[in-house]
Amino acid sequence: MNTLTTTAGNAQEYRTTMQEAALHFLQRHQGEHLADDGHLFDRAVSYLVNALDVPTFMADRLVYLAMSDLYGKHKPAPIGIDYGTGDSATVALLRFSTGEKVLIPCRHLPLRLQPPTAQPAAAAAN
């Protein structure tokens, strides 16, 4: 009976440790995958399987739980463009979570994101 409890405790400790390893991997590499969480997920699973010898069936679940922990605490801050702030040559990048605004020249935006009035001028400049 005591051996069963110890084995179950060791298995739980192993899963917790590997989930923490996945969480640390995700934290280190999330800046490399701003738009594609699926690729980050695959990289984390691959890391657990190849570097730490975690079984594949378990690695998927551990990374899923680690991503839930990561994004449950720190949701990625979406950024928007405020065309109403500034003049015709500038727009404001807006971080929705904090309300911070930074003015940038319209010419730094891709053509598809520029306000309609700035598109002909930007096309002529290129």
Listed by start position, the domains of the chain span 2-73, 79-125
- Give me the mean pLDDT over the 56-84 stretch: 84
List 101's β-bridge partners, or say none: 94
Looking at residue 98, its pLDDT comes to: 78
**66, 67, 69, 70 alpha-carbon torsion, rounded to 10°:** 120
Band of pLDDT at residue 17, cut at 50, 70 and 90? very high
Q: What is the pTM of this model?
A: 0.56
For residue 20, what pLDDT is reported? 96
